Structure 1
Amino acid sequence: MKRIVPAPLSSDAFAAFGDVIELGDQAFEINAGLCDRHHDLANVDIIDGRAGISLFEAEPRALPYTFDLVERHPKGSQAFIPMSMTSFLVIVAPDENGTPSTPLAFLTRPGQGVNFYRNTWHGVLTPLQSPGLFAVIDRIGDDTNLEEHIFETQYVVDSPG
């Protein structure tokens, strides 16, 4: 097994893989000043289909977390937005000639979501606390938009320092 220590999720560290969805400094007031709109936080990128919003109920996991599977979606980006103020684990892997290379792991802060760029290798939805309920924005279409890869060696994501 190979071990990974997760890093805190930040826009800079995650930039090669997608967008971090979180409250920022660029909000503007709407609804007679009673609401701040944090506008256009992620690029939804869809080919040959349409964007859809789904709800996922994922079973919470614990650290250390062992995995050997990553996936990617060649025809659309995929956003994971938690429906509760809990953290979750984000696993990504750079592409190396069509296969994933060494994975990286990130821990979100409560209130952060992610949008994986189209064709980005990433782990499955991995909440660390209940309820594990997420809004997922991704491509809806009639054809396959999922490619999976199983590593020969398992990886273990340890608890951070």
Structure 2
Amino acid sequence: MQTLRTQPLTAKAFAPFGDVLEATGDHRLINAGLCQRFHDRARLDFGPEARPGISIFQAEPRALPYRFDLIERHPDGSQAFVPMTEHPFLVIVAATPEATPLAFLTNGAQGINLHRGTWHGVLTPLHAPGLFAVVDRIGTTPNLEEHRYSQPWTVLVA
């Protein structure tokens, strides 16, 4: 059995795959000083002949240990997942289909932006309702590649 251990989602560890969206670090005050703006948190990339779109996803919750055999990527655009609840979710990424995947666990106050072409697991909420705002590429050309592992992976809590 191939196993992975979760690790906390940090900007440094996740940098090769995308951006961590969270309200930490530098910010500026707006709205008469009543709101902190954590500015320009993600590198959105939708390529030519496309536009950004905001969709709402409602995914079935999963549990740890979690077993998977599918990863995917979007070669023509980035994809951001912003949870609409304060529950942690699981993020699986891989440099290539042949590389060992990594499993990150969000802290319940983080979203992610996957860079264009990043191999990743499917949306994996750990609690209901599994509701996310998703910002990604809307275009007329295909933007999905999938890879199935010959042997599944199991993600265990660290």
For the superposition of Structure 1 and Structure 2, which TM-score range results when normalised by the shorter chain? over 0.9
Cα distance in 2 for partners of 1:62, 1:126 equals: 9
Structure 1 residue 100: Cα displacement: 4.3
Q: Percent identity?
A: 58
Which of 125, 136, 139 matches 1:138? 136
Paired residues of 1:100 and 1:121 also in contact (CA < 8 A): no
TM-score, normalised with respect to structure 2: 0.97
Structure 1 residue 143: Cα displacement: 1.1
Q: Deviations over 1:31-53 (max 9, x none)?
A: 11111111100010111201111
Detail structure 1 runs of 4+ shifted over 6 Å in the superposition: none
User: Which moves more between the two structures, 80-89 or 25-34?
Assistant: 25-34
Is 1:4–2:4 an aligned residue pair?
yes
Structure 1 residue 138: Cα displacement: 0.5
Q: Deviations over 1:92-150 (max 9, x none)?
A: 0112xxx4421110000011011011000000000001110001010000110000000
Is 1:148–2:146 an aligned residue pair?
yes
Cα distance in 2 for partners of 1:123, 1:100 equals: 14
Counterpart of 1:75, as a letter, is D
2:33 partner SS? coil
TM-score, normalised with respect to structure 1: 0.95
Partner of 2:95: 94
Paired residues of 1:59 and 1:132 also in contact (CA < 8 A): yes
Counterpart of 2:66, as a letter, is Y
Q: Structure 2 matches for 1:1-161, cutoff 5 A?
A: 1-48=1-48, 49-95=50-96, 99-160=97-158
Cα distance in 2 for partners of 1:139, 1:100 equals: 26
Structure 1's 111 and 138: CA in aligned 2 closer, same or farther, altered over 3 A?
same
Q: Number of matched residues?
A: 157
Cα distance in 2 for partners of 1:137, 1:21 equals: 12
Structure 2: gaps spanning 5 or more residues: none
Q: CA-atom RMSD, angstroms?
A: 0.8
Counterpart of 2:53, as a letter, is G
